[in-house]
Amino acid sequence: MKPWVLSIGLVAGLGWAAAPAQALTVYVSNEKDNSISVIDGDSLEVTATVPVGQRPRGIALSHDGSLLYICASDDDHVEVLDLATMKIIGTLPSGPDPELFILHPSGNPLYVANEDDNLVTVVDVEKGSVLAEVPVGVEPEGMGLSPDGKVLVNTSETTNMAHFIDTDTYEITSNVLVDSRPRFAEFTSDGKQVWVTSEIGGTISVIDSDTREIIHKIEFEIPGVRPEAIQPVGVRVNKAGTLAFVALGPSNRIAVVDAKTFEVKKYLLVGQRVWQLAFSPDESLLFTTNGVSNDISVIDVEKLRVIKSIPVGRFPWGVVAKD
Amino acid sequence: MTRFRLTFLTEAVGILAAAAAVLAAPHLVAAQDVKNVTIAYLSQVVERPPKLSNLDLPPQDEGSQGGVLAIKDNNTTGSFLKQHFELVEESVAADGDPIAAFEALAAQGIRFVILNVPAKTLLQIADLPSARDVLLFNAGAPDDSLRNEDCRANVLHLMPSRAMLSDGLAQYLIKKRWREWFVVVGRRESDRLFAEAIRRSAKRFGGKIVEEKTWDYGPDVRRTAQAEVPAFTQGVDADLILVADEIGEFGEYLVYRTWQPILVVGTQGLSPTSWHRTHEQWGAAQLQSRFEKMTGRRMTPLDYHVWGPIRAIGEAATRTNSTDFDKIVAYLKGPDFELAGFKGQKLTIRPWNGQLRQPILLAAPKALVSVSPQDGFLHEHSLLDTLGYDEQESRCRDYR
């Protein structure tokens, strides 16, 4: 655990631009405000709000941490934000209505889910060109990539499948049927499993990435919360493969799951309609976007406690953190 | 009688061919391996009485375009499972014979038929010997009798009933503590049935009908409303006017013309509905935008009522990995069926009458005001069962 420096006056005086290179910084896309909120990881305060394109949803860092890629869904392209100057320095073609994407482990290409067009678009981020378009199911959203970058998993919300795509040939090699409205796919760090959340089905399907079979379905039950409100969206598994965190939407809870036994250990109360999650690079903190209460909850991963809520813009959607 | 046969295999192949430079699609299979499901949409254009508000004429292709979009979605999913879906559309004129049209569809071997016809016609069709092995979907009749004493084993209702709509509205009014209602009923049978649903909702949730009046000034008061409406509404002390005017003859003309400044809700003003152009939550924005891109217009409730059954059949075919009629019907009527209907939760079918449980949108013309069930209305099994006829009060005997 990092000791918290809460000298707000000092931090506010320095601002984000003057922050030391290794300082934790969190970026949040605000879907309805067309902006990115920048949060200082020490003070846990918003230090800047940067206007970007329309309906920003999924965001991702370039591998050197210098750029932020932003799905500007209603502008039908990906914007590139230079994190040193906080200026948009360019756009990438993405196909229509980009919602969520994932970057190859080498830093290029970018795999984009085009929600309106039933496509996954593969974009070369250096040349700014489209390498391929892969037809998938209806309303593609979730994007997971194996650690070696060889297998891409896309989930389609209306088709209800996890599509396994070979990133060399762009062929679909398997389609795994999961519960209703799959929203997110996350590979474990050893590449052996893919965790797929089903928002309406209310479950997580843990898929063996070799056999492409569902080896376990995780269900959730929260005393006093009606089952319909339990809607899994974002999921993150820690690098050690021991703990997973699942955002449960309008139940306003994060489920903490033992990633070995698949047992739910705890539910943490966060803001309203929690969707996406990001660890800090050292995995000591987890940040959640709460779309209805317009804030970010900060979870202490060791203590499994919510330590702070940070107000951001309207409908916070995507979140990433870097040192 | 007109007929359109809509097939999307050629289109799907086109899309895949376009991507062929970078793709070898393993799910693109030879046509002969593909199993086919044909779904019919049979509608009778009943003669519409002259509307007071003739500003928003219903689109010619209302309903059928919802079907076209659902077929497209089913075929995208079907391409991964070697399933293909086809829509056959039959449109019968007001003086045409919907029974004969149905018989012709059944004779072709079509076993899924979506009906947009009046309740009486729906019952006639459901009771035909040729309908015994057909699954019918009601997409046009909100009548509660069809969910009660006139329910049938071969009919599913994916659209809400009047009682569900009225309960959805009433919960919100009670939540707002607007308990005293002045009910104004139009001169048609449909208006009387909506008023009946309102009276039932008042009893269930604690609304008080302080006055009920019938509007029988005829169809067109647009020049005289300013004189008529104040007199009609004078002397009634209520929180709001609850209007029952399903075809929109006069309801719009009550607003702003009442004796006292008073809200108008019901079939006009704040209205309960299954679908609305302002609905964007829970992924609905995606469905709205796909529909608008395809048709150049907004999706209407009728489009949604035709979209639903086709998606339900598609979902059953996906989950059972089968295009077999009996398997699909068993799945739809069984405990595992759930529809992702862009309403923020799974939609399931009531096992006692074949009605789809669903939240009800409460919409003003350009704003979504709320979605029912409202917080605080409790139910031992599903909050959605606070809307419409619950199992205990159901008079349906023939569904199971």
State the DSSP string of B144-185: GGGGTTT--TTEEE-SPPHHHHHHHHHHHHHHTT--EEEEEE
Backbone angles phi, psi at B345, to 5 degrees: -160, 165
| Residue that is written with structure tokens 């009485």 in the block | B49
Model ipTM value: 0.81
Residue type, B85: F
Q: Report the pLDDT value the prediction gives residue B380, as an integer from 0 to 100.
A: 86
CA angle A273, A277, A281 (to 5 degrees): 160
Q: Report the pLDDT value the prediction gives residue B323, as an integer from 0 to 100.
A: 96
User: Shortest Cα distance from A22 to chain B (angstroms)?
Assistant: 38
Under the banding of pLDDT at 50, 70 and 90, the label for residue A226 is confident
> Is the pLDDT confidence value at A13 over 50?
no
Q: Report the pLDDT value the prediction gives residue A312, as an integer from 0 to 100.
A: 97
Backbone angles phi, psi at A123, to 5 degrees: -120, 130
Query: Residues of A at the B interface (Cβ-Cβ below 8 Å)?
Result: 97, 115-116, 118, 131-135, 137-139, 156-161, 163, 169-173, 175, 177, 180-181, 200-202, 226, 228-229, 231, 250
User: Shortest Cα distance from B233 to chain A (angstroms)?
Assistant: 41
The count of other CB atoms within 10 Å of the CB of residue B66 is 30
Q: Report the pLDDT value the prediction gives residue A17, as an integer from 0 to 100.
A: 46
Q: Does B283 sit within 8 Å of A157, measured CB to CB?
A: yes
- Give the span between the Cα atoms of B158 and A49, in whole angstroms: 45
Q: Across the beta sheet with B271-273, what order do the strands follow?
A: B271-273, B360-364, B367-372
User: Shortest Cα distance from A116 to chain B (angstroms)?
Assistant: 6
User: Cβ distance A7 to A293 under 8 Å?
Assistant: no
Encode pLDDT of A83-101 as tens digits: 999 999 999 999 888 999 9
Under the banding of pLDDT at 50, 70 and 90, the label for residue B302 is very high
Residues from chain B that touch A226, judged by Cβ atoms under 8 A, are 383
Q: Does B24 sit within 8 Å of A200, measured CB to CB?
A: no
Q: Is B50 on the interface with A (CB under 8 A)?
A: no
> Is the pLDDT confidence value at B7 over 60?
no
Q: Does A133 sit within 8 Å of B19, measured CB to CB?
A: yes
Residues from chain A that touch B382, judged by Cβ atoms under 8 A, are 228
Mutate to test the interface with B, among A156, A200, A230 (most CBs of B within 10 A): A200
Backbone angles phi, psi at A161, to 5 degrees: -130, 155
Under the banding of pLDDT at 50, 70 and 90, the label for residue B83 is very high
Percent of chain A residues topping a pLDDT of 70: 93
> Is the pLDDT confidence value at B21 over 50?
no
Residues from chain B that touch A118, judged by Cβ atoms under 8 A, are 76
Residues from chain A that touch B24, judged by Cβ atoms under 8 A, are 169, 171
Under the banding of pLDDT at 50, 70 and 90, the label for residue B31 is low
- Give the span between the Cα atoms of A31 and A180, in whole angstroms: 24
Residues from chain B that touch A95, judged by Cβ atoms under 8 A, are none
3-state secondary structure at position A273: coil
Q: Report the pLDDT value the prediction gives residue A20, as an integer from 0 to 100.
A: 46
Cα separation values, B358 from B304, B361, B385, Å: 13, 10, 9
- Which of B258, B342, B381, B90 has the alpha carbon at shortest distance from A200? B342
Q: Does A161 sit within 8 Å of B19, measured CB to CB?
A: no
Q: B155-157 and B135-138 as β-strands: parallel, antiparallel, unpaired?
A: parallel
Q: Does A250 sit within 8 Å of B344, measured CB to CB?
A: yes
Q: Report the pLDDT value the prediction gives residue B28, as an integer from 0 to 100.
A: 47
Q: Does B73 sit within 8 Å of A135, measured CB to CB?
A: no
Q: Which of B16, B25, B318 sits opposite A160 (nearest CB)?
A: B318
Backbone angles phi, psi at B201, to 5 degrees: -60, -40
Residues from chain B that touch A116, judged by Cβ atoms under 8 A, are 286, 289-290, 293
> Is the pLDDT confidence value at B362 over 50?
yes
B5, exposed or middle or buried, with CB in 10 Å at 0-12, 13-18, 19+?
A: exposed
Q: Which residue of B has its CA nearest to A232?
A: B345
Q: Which of B73, B290, B383 sits opposite A116 (nearest CB)?
A: B290
Q: Which of B24, B315, B382 sits opposite A169 (nearest CB)?
A: B24
- Give the span between the Cα atoms of B147 and B156, in whole angstroms: 9
Q: Report the pLDDT value the prediction gives residue B315, as an integer from 0 to 100.
A: 96
3-state secondary structure at position B136: strand
Residue predicted with more confidence, B31 or B320: B320
Q: DSSP assignment, residue B267?
A: S
Encode pLDDT of B176-210 as tens digits: 999 999 999 999 999 999 999 999 999 999 999 99
Q: Does B73 sit within 8 Å of A201, measured CB to CB?
A: no
Q: Which residue of A has its CA nearest to B293?
A: A116
Under the banding of pLDDT at 50, 70 and 90, the label for residue A192 is very high
Q: Which of A116, A158, A172 sits opposite B73 (nearest CB)?
A: A158
Backbone angles phi, psi at B386, to 5 degrees: -80, -5
Under the banding of pLDDT at 50, 70 and 90, the label for residue B18 is very low
Q: Does A157 sit within 8 Å of B340, measured CB to CB?
A: yes
The token pair that represents A109 in the structure block = 């290409």
Q: Which residue of B has its CA nearest to A156?
A: B77
Give the count of alpha carbons within 13 A of B182, CB side only.
19
Between helices B189-205 and B162-175, what is the axis angle to 10°? 40
Under the banding of pLDDT at 50, 70 and 90, the label for residue B24 is very low
User: Cβ distance B341 to B103 under 8 Å?
Assistant: no
* Count of A-B CB contacts under 8 Å: 91
Mutate to test the interface with B, among A54, A157, A159, A203 (most CBs of B within 10 A): A159
Q: Report the pLDDT value the prediction gives residue A12, as an integer from 0 to 100.
A: 41
User: Cβ distance B399 to B374 under 8 Å?
Assistant: no
> Is the pLDDT confidence value at A10 over 50?
no
Across A23-37, A240-254, B37-51, least confident range: B37-51
A56: which strand partners?
Answer: A72
Q: Across the beta sheet with A151-156, what order do the strands follow?
A: A140-145, A151-156, A161-166, A172-177
> Is the pLDDT confidence value at B395 over 80?
yes
- Give the span between the Cα atoms of B103 and A319, in whole angstroms: 57
Under the banding of pLDDT at 50, 70 and 90, the label for residue A22 is low
Under the banding of pLDDT at 50, 70 and 90, the label for residue B51 is low
> Is the pLDDT confidence value at A118 over 50?
yes
The token pair that represents A85 in the structure block = 């100057």
> Is the pLDDT confidence value at B3 over 50?
no
The token pair that represents B280 in the structure block = 């964007």
Task: Please give the average per-residue pLDDT across A302-318, as a whole number.
Answer: 97
User: Shortest Cα distance from B81 to chain A (angstroms)?
Assistant: 9
Q: Does B27 sit within 8 Å of A202, measured CB to CB?
A: no
Q: Is B13 on the interface with A (CB under 8 A)?
A: no
Q: How far is CA A222 from the centre of its chain?
A: 24
The token pair that represents A103 in the structure block = 């970057």
Dihedral (CA of A60, A63, A67, A69) sign: negative
Q: Report the pLDDT value the prediction gives residue B48, as an integer from 0 to 100.
A: 67
Q: Which residue of A has its CA nearest to B347?
A: A200
Under the banding of pLDDT at 50, 70 and 90, the label for residue B400 is confident
> Is the pLDDT confidence value at B58 over 60?
yes
Q: Report the pLDDT value the prediction gives residue B249, as an integer from 0 to 100.
A: 84
Encode pLDDT of A26-35 as tens digits: 999 999 999 9
User: Cβ distance B152 to B126 under 8 Å?
Assistant: yes
Residues from chain B that touch A202, judged by Cβ atoms under 8 A, are 346
Q: Is B24 on the interface with A (CB under 8 A)?
A: yes
> Is the pLDDT confidence value at B254 over 80?
yes
Q: Does B77 sit within 8 Å of A159, measured CB to CB?
A: yes
Q: B180-185 and B240-244 as β-strands: parallel, antiparallel, unpaired?
A: parallel
Q: Which residue of A has its CA nearest to B76?
A: A137
Q: Does B283 sit within 8 Å of A132, measured CB to CB?
A: no
Across A166-180, A187-201, B7-21, least confident range: B7-21
Percent of chain A residues topping a pLDDT of 90: 88
Q: Which residues contact B131 (CB under 8 A, 6 or more apart)?
A: B102, B106, B125, B154
Backbone angles phi, psi at A246, to 5 degrees: -125, 125
Q: Report the pLDDT value the prediction gives residue B57, as an integer from 0 to 100.
A: 77
Q: Does B283 sit within 8 Å of A135, measured CB to CB?
A: no
Under the banding of pLDDT at 50, 70 and 90, the label for residue B59 is confident
> Is the pLDDT confidence value at B19 over 70?
no
Q: Is B212 on the interface with A (CB under 8 A)?
A: no
- Give the span between the Cα atoms of A192 and A210, in whole angstroms: 7
Residues from chain A that touch B383, judged by Cβ atoms under 8 A, are 226, 228
- Give the span between the Cα atoms of B192 and B189, in whole angstroms: 5
